[in-house]
């Protein structure tokens, strides 16, 4: 249960608006966080923030770099997420978390925290995209379109700290349309439902060792259609998506990136023992 009661007046709440930039779109396929931006607001005032590049330990995709303007050179000397996690968790403590498209950002945050044995605290979550879709009707629900609709502007987009600030300002605009003297529960109702923090993925101990060592694996695997086949995979990572845990690595004749759903694995062992 959240420590913040839903009948708490909005004016008494602290908010922390969060935005991320990532190496790609899919944390469950090994994409990682590369920029973190978050602003804390109390009594209507910006009181603290975090703005940092994060070294993801992998290269950016071309599409991701084109959208954000972030390059591999810009992040190669940045801290790892483990080095900024404590500061981030201190920043959000006791606040209402605010995202635009919470599922995307929470997936990456939970994945990054899970890698270092941590997790998102149980805090209320608001999603400005969900509020806009559930309580209003717009032609488009992207952050840029909605902020422009409300006359909220900024000179830079698709950078984490800027989009975090825009997200909070969009929340203020939506709140203004919803009425006066609102409570936290009113805002949760306006987005249609409570947003739950996804559980951390669980990986058996022996598979954790395979991931840490980058072991070449022989996997007997059942496809979605029930067909059984042998796959060879040099496992590099693992992740969770929609309640399923995946092993991620390179396999196949072209050594392409592959993700295998763990509950479809019939047998798995190091290829060297076969």
Task: Please list the rounded mean pLDDT of every run of 10 residues in the chain (274 residues).
Answer: 81 96 80 94 94 92 85 94 96 97 90 86 95 95 94 78 95 95 96 84 68 84 87 81 79 77 82 65
With respect to residue 198, please indicate whether it lies within any of the assigned structural domains.
no
With respect to residue 176, please indicate whether it lies within any of the assigned structural domains.
yes
Do residues 248 and 58 touch, judged by C-beta distance below 8 A? no
* pLDDT given at position 1: 44
Asked whether residue 139 falls in the same domain as residue 243, the answer is no
* pLDDT given at position 203: 64
* pLDDT given at position 163: 94
Asked whether residue 232 falls in the same domain as residue 110, the answer is no
Asked whether residue 99 falls in the same domain as residue 233, the answer is no
Asked whether residue 38 falls in the same domain as residue 120, the answer is yes
* pLDDT given at position 156: 65
Asked whether residue 122 falls in the same domain as residue 238, the answer is no
Exposed e or buried b per residue across 11-22, where buried means at least 16 C-beta atoms within 10 angstroms of its C-beta: eebbbbbbbbbb
With respect to residue 196, please indicate whether it lies within any of the assigned structural domains.
no
With respect to residue 156, please indicate whether it lies within any of the assigned structural domains.
yes
Q: Identify whether 119 is a catalytic site residue.
A: no
Asked whether residue 155 falls in the same domain as residue 219, the answer is no
**Beta partners for 22?**
33
- The single residue of 119, 158, 216, 244 carrying the catalytic annotation is 158
Q: What share of the chain is helix, strand, coil (3-state, %, to 5)?
A: 35, 30, 35
The domain tally of the chain equals 2
* pLDDT given at position 182: 96
Asked whether residue 47 falls in the same domain as residue 183, the answer is yes
* pLDDT given at position 197: 82
The H-or-E segment that residue 52 falls in is strand 45-53
Asked whether residue 127 falls in the same domain as residue 250, the answer is no
* pLDDT given at position 224: 85
Domain assignment of residue 185, given as a range: 10-190
Confidence (pTM): 0.76
Exposed e or buried b per residue across 129-154, where buried means at least 16 C-beta atoms within 10 angstroms of its C-beta: bbbbeeeeeeeebebeebbeeeebee
* pLDDT given at position 183: 96
């Amino acid at each position: 249960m959240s420590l913040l009661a839903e009948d708490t007046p909005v004016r008494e709440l602290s908010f922390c608006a969060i935005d991320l930039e990532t190496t790609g779109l899919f944390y469950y396929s090994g994409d990682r966080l590369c920029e973190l931006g978050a602003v804390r607001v109390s009594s209507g005032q910006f009181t603290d923030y975090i703005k940092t590049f994060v070294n993801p330990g992998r290269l950016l995709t071309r599409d991701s770099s084109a959208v954000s303007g972030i390059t591999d050179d810009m992040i190669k000397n940045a801290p790892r997420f483990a080095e900024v996690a404590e500061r981030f968790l201190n920043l959000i403590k006791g606040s209402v978390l605010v995202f635009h498209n919470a599922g995307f950002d929470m997936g990456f945050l939970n994945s990054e925290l899970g890698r270092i044995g941590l997790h998102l605290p149980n805090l209320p979550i608001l999603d400005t995209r969900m509020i806009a879709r559930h309580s209003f009707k717009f032609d488009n629900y992207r952050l840029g379109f909605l902020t422009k609709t409300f006359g909220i502007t900024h000179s830079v987009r698709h950078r984490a700290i800027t989009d975090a600030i825009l997200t909070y300002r969009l929340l203020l605009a939506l709140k203004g349309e919803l009425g006066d003297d609102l409570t936290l529960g009113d805002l949760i109702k306006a987005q249609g439902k409570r947003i739950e923090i996804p559980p951390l993925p669980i990986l058996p101990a022996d598979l954790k060792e395979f991931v840490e060592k980058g072991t070449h694996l022989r996997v007997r695997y059942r496809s979605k259609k029930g067909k059984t086949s042998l796959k060879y995979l040099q496992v590099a990572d693992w992740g969770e998506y929609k309640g399923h845990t995946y092993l991620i690595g390179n396999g196949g004749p072209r050594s392409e990136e592959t993700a295998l759903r763990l509950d479809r694995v019939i047998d798995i062992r190091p290829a060297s023992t076969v």
